[in-house]
Amino acid sequence: MPSSVKDLSFDSNAFNINETIKFILNGSYDRIALQFPDELLKYSSMISSKLSETGKDIYVLADTTFNSCCVDEIAAQHVNAQLIVHYGHACMSFTRHIDVYYVFPQDELDFVHFEAAVKELDYKHLLMFWDPKYHHLIEDLKKFMKNDAIIWSSLDTVFQKEADVKVIRNDQEADARKGKIGQRSFDLDNIEFSDVHCIYIGQESLSSLNIQLSTLSSKGFSIYDPESLSLSMNSASKLVSRRYHLVQKAKDAERIGIVVGTFLGNYFSR
């Protein structure tokens, strides 16, 4: 979470209070659970008080079952919540039982430096992904760059359990040019995936790793870090290298145990 969010006095605009209220009312949700990372819990009473003005039942989740970036369906089900409002960084993994409305943190991006860094890449087509904390800047960034060679993925801020769940892992599938990675989607139209260079705006993380592993058949993958103003040039990330090392190590094992410690176990057992 950026220090700018940690330190700010309560600002309803920073937490999308008005937009959240509209979403709750338009969706006719009656029981809403709020999920905060530890650093934002100090705002929970003020936010819940504002949202309670809708006349709906508002609950604040505590001691979440998983990492704060993961939506905690299990805790929300204890109060029969119909909607989770998730605050802070999100890994954007799928939920199964409950609708989710995301309120992302907001960080800054140097448009000029980013555009200059992108020009250093050797690409025919560029597929753009980003950390959720830069999502609020993407429309302005599109207007600033005006580059026809860039394909902009989309990032859904709402997940509804009725949505079609499909994850495209590589271009071996019939419709790989229309890809979906978690709640990120993209459409390559008539472009071959092997001609596309992928770039992720943000720090190296499990989110960037998931995207990198899901786009292995692309021409290359780079990470632009807005904090250090650095761009990785087609190099495999440390997380990918570590994963490969562990896979090789697992090949030497005589017995392998699988531990399922997440609600997604129900999804895989269907």
User: CATH number, domain at 142?
Assistant: 3.40.50.11850
Residues composing the chain: 270
- Quote the pLDDT of residue 9: 54
The answer as to whether 246 is a domain residue is no
| Domain boundaries, position 145 | 111-238
Ranges 10-19, 91-100, 116-125, most confident = 116-125
**How far out from the chain centre does Cα 92 lie?**
4
The answer as to whether 71 is a domain residue is yes
- Quote the pLDDT of residue 73: 87
- Quote the pLDDT of residue 146: 86
What phi and psi values does residue 111 have, to the nearest 5 degrees?
A: -60, -45
Angle, alpha carbons 184-185-191 (nearest 5°): 140
pLDDT in tens, 199-239: 999 988 878 888 888 888 888 899 999 999 999 876 566 66
- Of the candidate ranges 22-31, 158-167, 261-270, the one whose mean pLDDT is the lowest: 261-270
Q: Helices 111-118 and 138-145 sit at what angle, rounded to 10 degrees?
A: 60
Dihedral over alpha carbons 229, 131, 258, 86 (to 10 degrees):
140
- Quote the pLDDT of residue 234: 61
The answer as to whether 249 is a domain residue is no
Whether residue 76 sits in one domain with residue 154: no
Is the Cα torsion angle 152, 89, 9, 61 positive or negative in sign?
positive
Whether residue 143 sits in one domain with residue 43: no
pLDDT in tens, 124-143: 899 999 999 999 999 999 99
pLDDT in tens, 165-203: 443 344 444 445 577 887 788 988 888 888 999 999 998
3-state secondary structure the chain: CCHHHHHCCCCCCCCCHHHHHHHHHHCCCCEEEEECCHHHHHHHHHHHHHHHHHCCEEEECCCCCCCCCCCCHHHHHCCCCCEEEEECCCCCCCCCCCEEEEECCCCCCCHHHHHHHHCCCCCCEEEEEECHHHHHHHHHHHHHHCCCCEEECEECCEECCCCCCCCCCCCCCCCCCEEEECCEEEECCCCCHHHEEEEEECCCCHHHHHHHHHCCCCCEEEEEECCCCEECCCCCCHHHHHHHHHHHHHCCCCCCCCCCCCCHHHHHCC
Which of 162-168's residues contact partners 24+ apart within 8 Å by CB, and which partners? 165/94, 167/214, 168/214
- Quote the pLDDT of residue 139: 94
What's the structural domain count of the chain? 2
Whether residue 162 sits in one domain with residue 138: yes
- Quote the pLDDT of residue 174: 41
- Quote the pLDDT of residue 142: 94
The answer as to whether 257 is a domain residue is no
Q: pTM of the prediction?
A: 0.76
End-of-domain residue from the set 77, 103, 129: 103
Q: Euclidean distance between the first and final Cα of the chain, in Å?
A: 36
What phi and psi values does residue 23 have, to the nearest 5 degrees?
A: -65, -40
Whether residue 186 sits in one domain with residue 81: no
> How many other C-beta atoms can be found within 10 angstroms of the C-beta atom of residue 35?
27
Flag whether pLDDT at 266 surpasses 80.
no
Q: What mean pLDDT is predicted for residues 112-129?
A: 92
The answer as to whether 36 is a domain residue is yes
Flag whether pLDDT at 265 surpasses 70.
no
Q: What mean pLDDT is predicted for residues 60-70?
A: 80
pLDDT in tens, 150-169: 999 998 888 776 544 443 34
- Quote the pLDDT of residue 75: 87
- Quote the pLDDT of residue 235: 58
